[in-house]
Amino acid sequence: MDHPLARLTAEEIRAARILLDHAGLLTKATRFAVLALEEPPKQEVLAFTEGEPIERRVRAVLLDSDTGRSRTVLASISRDEIDQVTDVDPAVDGQPPILLEEFGAADEIVKSDARWQAAMARRGITDLDLVCACPLSAGSFDVPGEPGRRMLRVLSFLQHHQSDHPWAHPIDGVVAYVDLTSQEVVELIDHETRPIPQEEANVDDPGYVGPARMTLRPIEIVQPQGRSFVVEGDVVRWEGWSLRIGFDAREGLVLHQIAFRDGERDRPIIYRASIAEMVVPYADPGPVRYWQNYFDAGEYLLGQQANSLTSGCDCVGDIHYLDVVVTDGDGAPREIQNAVCLHEEDFGVLWKHTDLFTGSAETRRQRRLAISFFVTVGNYDYGFYWYLYLDGTIALEVKTTGALFTSSYREGDEWASEVAPGLGAPYHQHLFCARLDMTIDGVTNAVEEIDVRREPVGPRNPQGNAFARSVTRLTRESDAARVAEPALGRSWHIVNPQQTNRLGRPVAYALYPQGQPTLLADESSSIARRAAFATRHLWVTRYDPAQRYPAGELVNQHPGGAGIPRWTAANRGLDGEDLVVWHTFGTTHIPRPEDWPVMPVDTCGFVLKPVGFFDRNPTLDVPPPFAPPCG
Ligand code: CU
């Protein structure tokens, strides 16, 4: 390994498994829910110089499938030693994430249950091979006997044949509560029989879709001299930018040590950027689906669900792919080919001016480097696109697409849209939490909230035209739990109070939120306790290497209160400290008929822009377009 943050390799995963085995931590029933790189603390990484010895540690979450007991393990594969073993109390600490193999297990368990079979028979369904049993995270509710048990809840969908898309035919009114350890249906709620929508949704069937249009002529992205970025191992350099690519089974793509070359200096901006959590809470309060909310990172592991991408379809241009390695339930490495895509994109005009007086006319074109991956979690597909622009802008765009989660719709249903005849799509939110471990020109940072402010008419403002900014330093963690205010143009500046630009002002990057609704569930709800991060757009915490995930380490069935609410209760000072910014953003999805049978990409995200980080526009040296000559 050449760097402490290098991605865990297949060999290291194998070595870690052997180490845990030799330490007596594995039995035949042991399943690996997580095996990941334990990153060294930031100060160690920042102090690292090339060629120094590197210690490699891993973190594992082990589940005993016979007993349902689980434990977390920290181990050093460099020292060949187990550093820590912690038993998990699932009623208090939460459950390990859902394993891919448990999807199949849930299907078998419900299909062998007589009550569930009877519920299907009541709905006229006899061929159980055509029923897709959907393994859904159980959440944490006052269901008697449930705390401490490893649960899934199962809603089912019907296929007309083996290649028929099941989401079109929800078998509504019935839900099975499944214990994965005892492998039984603990409770079957057969609330009511609703009609099963019949219209199909087979977007891959030409007979359903109809003839393809013939009017689209090819668009080809040609880069005759190749791409402008350089990839050395996991380090990427492009137009002043440098960063290191990481990939985590839980967060997926991670960007480490994002810096921008300015003169002779590589100026750090973000030490580590990732989507550390996301949750999809649904709005239907009825007895069949009040519990529906999915933490796609903490419960299902975004990185584990990464797609293998295809050039020409998922990405166009001169593409560089990275294969990634995750771990399967046996603790063996599993490679996902072409999981991370890097490419450059033309992005329209960067700057332009035609001068009234001199006649000068100059145009430059913007470009961005896109670093992305796509996941499929059940019915939904999410693309995560980080963009670095020539002018120092950093943006994250999440593309949400795929199939809606569906219900049987009846007139007057308040919590769902009708998207096809008799087919409902319950309202829901997609709320993401970006963890932005900031290093604006170093680790001494502070955060300011910037609003625009109306000035009342008075001696200072006799004509009433005045407006100004109001700047509030967020000095403690309790002050830094904030919501966006679109009408005030609210943004947050991450500044380095010790580094100034040529105007003598602290260098800064601004976070511009989109300001869409935060969590809409009631404050007293289970999901508000479990996804407290989603109740605010912004949180700022003092850096602590153990504070990784905003809803806590083990999110699955966790009763709530972990992560951000627990950490910020310490109310640490934030002024001139090493800071992590947590930004919640996302969409509130009231499905449209046009979102069916497959949803055109919707986007959400945020933008970070330099504000006095540079001394002037850093793109004056971008040459005019190559060909054809402008003007
Ligand atoms: Cu949605």
Write the pLDDT tens digit of every residue in 42-79.
999 999 999 999 999 999 999 999 999 999 999 999 99
pLDDT for 542 equals 98
Task: Look up residue 570 and give its DSSP letter.
Answer: T
pLDDT digits (tens, 9 = 90+) for 456-493: 999 999 999 999 999 999 999 999 999 999 999 999 99
Is 380 part of the annotated catalytic residue set?
yes
Cα–Cα distance, 157 to 168 (Å, whole number)? 8
Is 296 part of the annotated catalytic residue set?
yes
Please tell me the distance between residue 89's alpha carbon and the centre of ligand 1 in angstroms.
33
Statement: residue 619 has pLDDT above 80: yes
Cis peptide leading into 287, omega within 30 of 0? no
DSSP secondary structure string, 425-463? EE-EEEEEEEEEEE-TTSS-BEEEEEEEEEPPSBTTBTT
As given in the structure block, the two tokens for residue 209 are: 């879709």
Please tell me the distance between residue 585's alpha carbon and the centre of ligand 1 in angstroms.
14
pLDDT for 137 equals 97
Cα–Cα distance, 152 to 103 (Å, whole number)? 9
Angle between helical axes of 114-122 and 100-111 (0-180°, round to 10): 70
Mean of pLDDT over the chain: 96
pLDDT digits (tens, 9 = 90+) for 152-180: 999 999 999 999 999 999 999 999 999 99
pLDDT for 388 equals 98
* pTM for the structure as a whole: 0.97
Please tell me the distance between residue 599's alpha carbon and the centre of ligand 1 in angstroms.
9
Beta-carbon-side half-sphere exposure of residue 191 (alpha carbons within 13 Å): 13
Query: For residues 57 and 38, is the Cβ–Cβ distance under 8 A?
Result: yes
Sign of the torsion formed by the C-alpha atoms of 126, 426, 591 and 482: negative
Please tell me the distance between residue 225's alpha carbon and the centre of ligand 1 in angstroms.
40
pLDDT for 311 equals 86
Taking residues 246-258, report their average pLDDT.
97
pLDDT digits (tens, 9 = 90+) for 283-333: 999 999 999 999 999 999 999 999 999 988 888 999 999 999 999 999 999
Please tell me the distance between residue 402's alpha carbon and the centre of ligand 1 in angstroms.
9
Please tell me the distance between residue 589's alpha carbon and the centre of ligand 1 in angstroms.
5
As given in the structure block, the two tokens for residue 466 are: 């005045």
Query: For residues 257 and 271, is the Cβ–Cβ distance under 8 A?
Result: yes
Q: Which value, to the nearest 10 degrees, does the dihedral of the CA atoms of residues 573, 576, 580, 586 take?
A: 90
Task: Look up residue 524 and give its DSSP letter.
Answer: T
pLDDT for 296 equals 97
Which residues 6+ apart lie within 8 Å of 251 measured at CB?
274, 275, 276, 297, 302, 303
**Ramachandran quadrant class, 129 (left: phi over 0; alpha: psi -120 to 50; beta: rest):** alpha
Please tell me the distance between residue 272's alpha carbon and the centre of ligand 1 in angstroms.
28
Cα–Cα distance, 584 to 605 (Å, whole number)? 9
Taking residues 250-278, report their average pLDDT.
97
Please tell me the distance between residue 430's alpha carbon and the centre of ligand 1 in angstroms.
6
Taking residues 605-629, report their average pLDDT.
91
Please tell me the distance between residue 418's alpha carbon and the centre of ligand 1 in angstroms.
14
- Alpha-carbon distance values, 23 to 31, 32, 51, 56 (Å): 16, 15, 30, 17
Please tell me the distance between residue 296's alpha carbon and the centre of ligand 1 in angstroms.
13
**% the chain with pLDDT above 70:** 99
Statement: residue 1 has pLDDT above 90: no
pLDDT digits (tens, 9 = 90+) for 495-519: 999 999 999 999 999 999 999 999 9
Q: Is 550 exposed, middle or buried (0-12, 13-18, 19+ CB in 10 A)?
A: buried
Statement: residue 130 has pLDDT above 60: yes
Which residues 6+ apart lie within 8 Å of 381 measured at CB?
307, 374, 375, 400, 401, 402
Task: Provide the strand spans (E) within 455-552.
Answer: 467-473, 491-500, 506-512, 538-542
Indicate which residue of 179, 284, 296, 441 is catalytic: 296
Find the helix or strand (DSSP H, E) in which 368 lies.
Answer: strand 361-377
Q: What values do phi and psi take at 92, rounded to 5?
A: -105, -45
DSSP secondary structure string, 131-185? EEEEEEE------TT-TTS-EEEEEEEE-SSTTS-GGGSEEEEEEEEEETTTTEE
Cα–Cα distance, 470 to 25 (Å, whole number)? 57
pLDDT for 283 equals 98
Statement: residue 629 has pLDDT above 60: no
Taking residues 188-192, report their average pLDDT.
97
pLDDT for 593 equals 98
pLDDT for 630 equals 55
Cα–Cα distance, 132 to 101 (Å, whole number)? 15
Q: Is 120 helix (H, G, I), strand (E, B) or coil?
A: helix
pLDDT digits (tens, 9 = 90+) for 516-538: 999 999 999 999 999 999 999 99
Taking residues 85-110, report their average pLDDT.
96
Neighbouring C-beta atoms of residue 388, cutoff 10 Å: 27
Indicate which residue of 380, 387, 427, 549 is catalytic: 380
Taking residues 590-602, report their average pLDDT.
98
Please tell me the distance between residue 400's alpha carbon and the centre of ligand 1 in angstroms.
7
pLDDT digits (tens, 9 = 90+) for 389-404: 999 999 999 999 999 9
Q: Is 535 helix (H, G, I), strand (E, B) or coil?
A: helix
Query: For residues 429 and 206, is the Cβ–Cβ distance under 8 A?
Result: no
Please tell me the distance between residue 595's alpha carbon and the centre of ligand 1 in angstroms.
9
